[in-house]
Structure 1
Amino acid sequence: MKQLRAAMKAVSGAIESRNTIPVLSNVLITCDGRRLFLTGTDLDLMIETTVEAQKARGISVTVGAKLLEDIAKKLPAEALATMVLDGNQLVVSAGRARFRLPTLPVADFPILTAPEWLHEFECPASVWTQMIDRVGFAMASEEARYYLNGIYLHQTPAGLLGAAATDGHRLAVFRTDMPDGGEGLTSIILGRKAVGLVAKLLDDLKPGDDGVSPEVEFATDGKKARFDFGTVTLTTKLIDGQYPDYTRVIPIGTDKRCEFTPSILREAVDRVIVVTTEKTRLVKAVFGGELLQLESVSPENGRGTEELAVAHEGGELTIGFNGSYLLAVLDHLAGGPAEVLMTDPAGPTLWRQDEQATSFYVLMPMRV
């Protein structure tokens, strides 16, 4: 039963809680004699997983995913479950518990067919996890610019594997060595839901006995992508759109640089924005010499200010930031020290740990 719980948890991620097509609320269960295969889909992505079975034959059925998952959660973890198809009902038994569940025709269940993959490579789970963590927070969530609602996966001009996400106000970029087999990678956009599910499946992967992160197989043909985690496979359609050239907003030729400790700056920003409201999250920052002055003002709640020691090069600069966006960037600059490169109050700012960092962030300013 423990294996069935884990399998249902995995496939249920692909299944929406509300569906206009009844069979999309179901999980497809098939077998090959020794294993059960469970599949869930929402038409745009599909998750498949396997469960070892002592005896498995002659079963091919779709049954309500939430109902089966709830039953698996209620039954003892070490219980041995039996599934028998009786007419148009699936009989699930464990110990003295017995459930008769309604089914829907297997022929009605849609399958995302696998294309001929153009690119296939393996990448450690730890690298995928780091990639999603570093850039995922900057994904957009809007209907008009739907192509921003995901992570842009591509090959950089330097031949690296790059990932980028932006909502128009902030940009997050991650780069790592291109795995063998990924050369010439077709640029793709992984949708927000797929990114979230991949992150959850990565969390469930455990390092081997040698402490080495397991490899995750990736494949794409430019229209679909597949992540193979071993016993779980996620196949997803990709966002069909042209991702903007994000390199155009990365500031170059900056003449002001400030070095700081991310954790200290984060705590200070978090304090001064206490007086702001959701609509006015403005933080005014005055860079100059060895001090950074922070200020937030709200007509309803007054004013909050704080000074902290930094190492600033270049002339004095007064610039405004969205406090929430700034906190998110600082959260991903853990450790220290870090630097921000700037030009003027209206220009984009570049935040990074150093020039060789695998990730960096661009934050657009607000009018002070």
Structure 2
Amino acid sequence: MHIRIERDAFVDALGPVQSVVEVKKALPILSHVLLDATPEGLSLFGTDLDVGLRKQVAAEVFTPGAITLSAKKLYEVVKELPSAPIELQADQDLQVAISCQRSNFRLKGLSREEFPSLPNLHGDGELLLDAKLFRDMLRKTLFAVSSDQTRYALTGVLLQAHSTGLNMVATDGHRLALVRLPRPETSGTAVIEALIPKKAMVEAVKIARDEVGDVRIRLSDNQLILQQDTTTLVARLIDGQFPNYDQVVPTFTPNHIDISKDALHGALRRTSAIMGERTTPTEFDFQAGRVLISCVNMDLGEAHEEVEISYTGEGVKIGFNARYILEFLSAVDSETITLHLTDPLSPTIFRSAGDERYSCVIMPMRI
């Protein structure tokens, strides 16, 4: 293999690929990135066996070929090189000479035969979504994914696309984030239901961050295939039963409370400063026209805030994990938030005012 490639393009392609590679894997080959040079250009692929990422980048290919190199070390070397063409040339001893102006390196590689076989990238049907829409759906759900590996089915995001609707939902058992949209007319006809690992969706956010073009989603052999332009993400789906989330979302809530997003965010940030390492419930005392927000820490002290609200019902006191509300607030852009509340022991729905397409259901804490 012998190629010439622009340093900036190489760094831009190598960065995302090396981020999915697991450095501490028992198999050394899984800490490597596969470089595959063909007459069409250079392909980079990295995987941890659960998530894989392939980037295609333009390169001048003198001699086609393939080799694997340490993803971390290759990235560390290339990103420090000047913005100029880089030449990479592999020899028969699986060593790659890297040269750029007056800089020269030699990295030891491994044979491509040791690298995991590339997955099938031809799935059944195709869901086509605007990149900005897809990223926004992920931003509004990812924070609710569980990190508890004993609850395997909750460690991912559920994506559903049926004839008329498009849903994305995540839950950790204490809160649930749900985006429910009409299906875009340009999305195709593929019916999809997939439980996707959080790591894959974090990488998907990076893929869709440019907000330009469409994201193509397919399923194949219990894998998700996500493509945008020259990037392909492959993820092994979670084999588990996601809970019936419709049973979690309250259908009737007698109390509706409107509150400024910025005012609520500021009050919670300030009262949270008094929290210790243990999760302490934050008390919300809803009264006509105002809410009193309090946090008491027996070791550190207490904090109290008063925020104006639009509410004329009877007084209600309820406790919440403030972090859950803050993460919801960071995912919405509206100026006003509406709380749909039943009683101190029932889940509360948090929404942008006047918008039922996005809901965050939060379980209360005893106070």
TM-score (norm 1): 0.92
Could you say which residue in structure 1 is the equivalent of 2:128? 122
More strand by share: 2
Counterpart for residue 210 of structure 1: none
| Aligned counterpart for 1:192 among listed residues 167, 187, 198 | 198
What whole-Å deviation, never above 9, does each CA across 1:229-253 have from its counterpart, x for those lacking one?
2111111111111100111111122
What CA distance in whole angstroms lies between the structure 1 residues aligned with 2:342 and 2:101? 70
State yes or no: 1:235 paired with 2:240: no
* Uncovered stretches (5+) of structure 1, i.e. residues with no partner: 208-212
In 1, the alpha carbon distance for the partners of 2:280 and 2:53 equals: 39
Per the alignment, residue 28 of structure 1 pairs with: 34
57, 66, 72: which one aligns with 1:60: 66
- Report the residue type matching 1:117 in the other structure: G
> Structure 2 residue aligned with 1:113, among 77, 96, 119?
119
**Distance (whole Å) between structure 1 residues aligned to residue 99 and residue 144 of structure 2:** 46
Residue 266 of structure 2 aligns with which residue? 267
Quick one: distance in 1 between partners of 2:326 and 2:223?
A: 34
Indicate yes or no: 2:78 matched with 1:79.
no
Report which stretch shifted further, 283-292 or 184-193: 184-193
- SS of the aligned residue for 2:264 comes to helix
Q: Which residue of 1 aligns with 2:349?
A: 350
Structure 1 residues 252 and 34, CA gap change in structure 2 (3 angstroms): closer
In the alignment, what sits opposite 2:360? 361
- The residue number in structure 2 matching 1:293 is 292
The runs of 4+ residues in structure 1 deviating greater than 6 Å are none
1:273 and 1:281 in contact (8 A); partners too = no
| Identity fraction in percent | 29
1:45 shift after superposition:
1.7
Secondary structure of 1:243 counterpart: coil
| SS at 2:355 equivalent | coil
Unpaired runs of 5+ residues, structure 2, are 1-6
Aligned to 1:4: 10
User: What does 1:111-150 align with in structure 2 at a 5 Å threshold?
Assistant: 111-114=117-120, 116-150=122-156
Instruction: Give the match for residue 216 of structure 1.
Output: 215
Distance 1:115 1:100, change over 3 A: closer
Structure 1 distance, partners of 2:29, 2:250, is: 50
In structure 2, the residue matched to 1:171 is 176
Which deviates further from its counterpart, 22-31 or 87-96? 87-96
Whole-angstrom distance in 2 between the partners of 1:289 and 1:64: 62
Match of 2:167 among 159, 162, 170: 162
Work out the CA distance in 1 between the residues paired with 2:205 and 2:231.
13
Question: What is the count of residue pairs matched by the alignment?
Answer: 360
State the distance in 1 between where 2:221 and 2:335 align: 38
- More displaced 10-residue stretch of structure 1: 279-288 or 139-148: 279-288
Map of 1:98 onto structure 2: 104
Counterpart position of 2:3: none
Deviations 1:28-77 (A, max 9, x none): 11122240111111111211112212234232211211121122112112
Over residues 108-156 of structure 1, what are the superposed CA-to-partner deviations in whole Å (9 max), with x where a residue is unaligned? 1102421652231221110111011111111110111011111110137
Contact kept, 8 Å, 1:317 with 1:344, in 2: the verdict is yes
Task: Map 1:313-332; keep pairs closer than 5 Å.
Answer: 313-332=312-331
Counterpart amino acid of residue 282 in structure 1? P
Give the Å deviation of 1:304: 1.6
State how far apart, in whole Å, the 2-side matches of 1:215 and 1:29 are: 26
User: Helix, strand or coil: the match of 1:142?
Assistant: coil
**Taking structure 1 as reference, are residues 168 and 22 closer, same or farther at Cα in structure 2, changes over 3 Å only?**
same
Q: Deviations over 1:246-271 (max 9, x none)?
A: 11111122111111111111111222
Cα distance in 2 between the residues matched to 1:333 and 1:201: 21
AA of the residue aligned to 1:20: A
The 2-side partners of 1:363 and 1:240 are apart by 26
1:182-217 residue CA offsets vs partner (Å, 9 max, x unmatched): 5462321110110111112223x3x5xxxxx31121
Counterpart CA distance in 2 for 1:342 and 1:35 is 57
- Amino acid in the other structure paired with 1:100: R
CA distance in 2, matches of 1:79, 1:14: 26
Pair 1:67–1:170, CA change in 2 (3 A): same
Secondary structure (helix, strand or coil) at the match of 2:30 reads: helix
